[in-house]
Structure 1
């Protein structure tokens, strides 16, 4: 077996990380608009207002807002079948609280989706990708406020109606399970009212964390059920960051700790979004952590009715879990863990594990029996131009090749794999660190960490390679 004939090859980006134009045409202020730049050693910060003399990378990013035709043409040249992107909620409702949408924002995304349509590219649209209106932070402390559910519903109803003939595939929340992690407190939950400091520094109670996450799960279910009732042509998916974890040793305590890690971090949210109910294993976790959600019968019915049609995830790396002290720690995407002695790592400490992707896809499919799409995967690297002025990113090609090979093995194992959209198909601002130096794209953007650069676009070696991969439906992975 190989990839299915209608396999959706493409790439992925997020509005707040590549659009720029942060205050153009009526757009309001979002959480990422108040996030400064950082590095792998110094976390980016969030402020309560824009402070003079500080760099806020999302304000310009790579200015997709004014370059979208050029960029989509490059995606089409690579042969994209699908383009995963997101909508900046604050382009549609600047504070999140308005009753009427901003027409200029609606028109922009209509233009983007029509440009995709022109080339036969299917948009895959994330409704909320780490981009919460800051007005909702000020009013309700982000998703801590149950009122945000209604505001999210109104926003979704508007974009569903406007783009019903342009978009078929939708995802509700990006990496929704990231809300269980420290960094996800800022990026996903937005429970940062009045806080100024490192994005991974705010401390909230377990009760507040899981209350906010519960509101997201209810909001997701409500808009999924609404879409199914009003737009039967739509396909709705969830989106999780899958942080694959292995026991570091065969000590049964490590096995149990890994099982709990996977239950809470990797399975909890998708179990709710796919099975339609809170899993029983969370009862003890809530009890032991002083969490009482008081879920109503009405909410249980909402979760039951609002289940998704397909599963999507990001996969970059794996870690190990151990109960033993003095294990070497590694960094990670939202959450780190113990170092795996059998793996190498990127400059940012993310362990590279293609076999883990095959293992992960098999675990997901065995659990849910739903079509799966890998909607983020890639290597963040410090690309340098060679003597000829071009980026020769053989390291990225090698990373992607091995992960595509792993996906092909998973397909042969029987996994129903529907598509693949590598992350940051064009260079963009890193969500975790706020850097431009951490590049993922097939397309190099002349933009740097100090805010300089003319924003010109250039193809890397990986551009031509990925073009061939798509043309051969993943059969030819050679350089």
Structure 2
């Protein structure tokens, strides 16, 4: 099957500051939450590899941008590392060396014909703010973040026209305070919701600051809603899917786009005594400052069923009280990641945004396939023959193009990631890039077969997939 790709449809790639930069040039006191976690629990990171070296993008960014230009990327999304942007988080003293790096990177992207897209926070909460104010538990951090956003806009919004406030704002506190599976392993469901709310509030306040600046561009946020499927049509299974959706998807989707939390969610939070502290002024700010557009990260579906057992009343509340995960028999799998492969989730998400969220402009900001030991698939010329990735990307983009044909406002697709990069705990175990990073050979870059495929797709503006 051959599909035409609309002329203005974005075909880009993404990464983040902390997953690529490395610590070269980092000053004392500039650790992020991720840096602190790595120092405390380096042993949980695959083979001890982490953000200290990453891909050394600080020094090698021009080499990567040259590859972007060669492939023909239309856009590249990364983040500003909030923890490195300041030398003092209270007085908001900018680290001019790091600020210049961001400026130089922006200029290099533009020169290469690649439009930069910047995110203000991709898990890069400064460790100082976590230690001093308990992170996003505090309104003080919301205030400091808003001031950081204002400074970033003043410096770069003349050249950067597409901004995002957060990347996957639900993730860090879910792993740390709800599931307690990441450092510092504090189980506190109320704190989980407080962090959620303060990130929703910070999103609205950053949007407010951006609009007051009258910048020539737009501002959104990047969410990772898990496209949720009930095991069956039974009332119990449908309820399970509905409640999962409330707690993990609509908690950010609804305030970002509609300006308010779902009432049903608020009632559940009250019932379980985990309603976040807030006031009416905060709710008004959220209502008045919805986003211009959305970034959506999608990798795999979430399948749920009604719970099979009573909840243990002696354990802290967790939304899992209302659902069990469900594994679809016969599902396709990426065995390296343990994730189901279900490309139709792209279409289903597109239709949901069209029908439930006023068809707000949006794009896929992450989607990709991580595979272990890719050197197994390297030919005699040293090129990784990643046909599995080409098939995966093609199927997902195909469903997205079908949605566009049916009236979806989706503006494009950005794969994760442009180069192989460090991921939490996974480090370099699973590779995602169009461009390979050889960590045993001075981080040498080389294009995989998927990079050549992506280049041809962008050049020809057509996608060919199996029927």
User: Could you tell me how far apart the structure 1 residues matched to 2:226 and 2:21 are?
Assistant: 27
- Residues 1:413 and 1:183: Cα distance change in structure 2 (over 3 Å): farther
Cα deviation 1:103-132 (Å, max 9, x = unaligned)? 111100000000011012111111000111
Change (3 A) 1:477 1:85: farther
Q: Give the TM-score of the pair, scaled to structure 1.
A: 0.87
1:475 aligns with 2:460: no
- Given the superposition, is the C-alpha separation of residues 37 and 180 from structure 1 closer, same or farther in structure 2, using an over 3 Å criterion? closer
How far, CA to CA, are the matches of 2:40 and 2:28 in structure 1? 28
- Bigger drift between 96-105 and 438-447 goes to 96-105
Tell me the equivalent position of 1:418: 411
1:254 and 1:66 mapped to 2: Cα distance?
A: 51
Q: Does 1:380 align with 2:370?
A: yes
Contact kept? 2:163, 2:220, Cα under 8 Å:
yes
Answering whether residue 137 of structure 2 is matched by residue 144 of structure 1, we say yes
Q: Report the TM-score when normalising by structure 2.
A: 0.89
Could you tell me how far apart the structure 2 residues matched to 1:236 and 1:267 are?
19
Q: Find the aligned partners of 1:158 and 1:458 in 2 and give their Cα distance.
A: 36
Which aligned pairs between 1:83-162 and structure 2 lie closer than 5 A? 83-94=76-87, 96-162=89-155
- Structure 2 residue 333 is matched with structure 1 residue 345: yes
Correspondence for 1:12: 14
Corresponding residue number in structure 2 for 1:367:
356
Q: After TM superposition, give the deviation of residue 284 of structure 1 in Å.
A: 1.9
How far apart are 1:291 and its partner, in Å?
Answer: 2.0
Equivalent position of 2:452 in the other structure: 464
Segments of structure 1 that go 5 or more residues without pairing to the other structure are: 46-53, 187-196, 327-334
Matched residue of 1:181: which SS? helix
Q: What's the counterpart of residue 319 of structure 2?
A: none
Contact 2:420-2:437 within 8 A present in 1 as well: yes
1:442 matched to 2:444:
no
1:312–1:372 CA contact under 8 A, matched in 2: yes
* Unmatched 5+ stretches in structure 2: 310-322
Distance 1:254 1:200, change over 3 A: farther
The residue aligned with 1:24 is: 26
Contact kept? 1:31, 1:132, Cα under 8 Å: yes
Question: What's the CA shift for 1:78?
Answer: 0.7
Cα distance, 1:36 vs structure 2:
3.4
| Paired residues for 1:212-231 under 5 Å | 212-231=195-214
Determine the C-alpha separation between the residues in 2 that align with 1:434 and 1:273: 30
Contact 2:364/2:412 (<8 A) preserved: yes
Q: CA deviation at 1:286?
A: 0.7
Distance 1:126 1:169 in 2: 9
Residues in 1 aligned to 2:72 and 2:270: alpha-carbon distance in whole angstroms: 51
Which of 182, 197, 221 aligns to 1:238? It is 221
Give the distance between the partners of 1:365 and 1:474, measured in 2 at CA. Answer: 24
Tell me, yes or no, if the aligned pair for 2:435 and 2:448 is still in contact at 8 Å.
yes
**Post-superposition offset of 1:345:** 1.3
Task: Report the equivalent of 1:250.
Answer: 233
Shift of residue 163, structure 1, vs aligned partner: 0.4
Could you tell me how far 1:95 is from its partner in structure 2? Answer: 5.5
Structure-2 residue corresponding to 1:329: none
State the secondary structure of the residue aligned to 1:35: helix
Across the two proteins, how many residue pairs are aligned to each other?
445
1:304/1:137 CA distance change after superposition, 3 Å: same
Whether the aligned pair in 2 keeps the contact of 1:443 and 1:459 (CA below 8 Å) is yes
Asked if 2 retains the 8 angstrom alpha-carbon contact of 1:94 and 1:133, the reply is no
Provide the rounded CA distance (Å) in 2 between the counterparts of 1:25 and 1:76: 32
Q: CA RMSD in A?
A: 2.5
2:383 matched residue in structure 1: 390
Cα shift readout 1:259-314 (whole Å, capped 9, x = no counterpart):
11112211221110111122212122211220233431211221122210011110
Show the 5 A alignment for 1:135-284. Answer: 135-178=128-171, 181-182=174-175, 199=182, 202-284=185-267
Q: Match for residue 66 of structure 1? A: 59
CA contact 2:305–2:324 (8 Å) conserved in 1: no
CA contact (8 A) 2:343 2:395 kept: yes
* Partner in structure 1 of residue 398 of structure 2: 405
Separation of aligned partners in 1, 2:275 and 2:331: 40
The equivalent residue for 2:316 is none
Alignment-derived partner of residue 51 in structure 1: none
Give the distance between the partners of 1:23 and 1:29, measured in 2 at CA. 12
Q: Which residue of 2 aligns with 1:194?
A: none
- Aligned equivalent of 1:331: none
Kept in 1: contact 2:176–2:187 (CA 8 A)? no
Q: Deviations over 1:57-106 (max 9, x none)?
A: 10110101100001011011111111010010122114633432111111
Cross-structure match for 2:315: none
Does the residue aligned with 2:365 lie in a helix, a strand or coil? strand
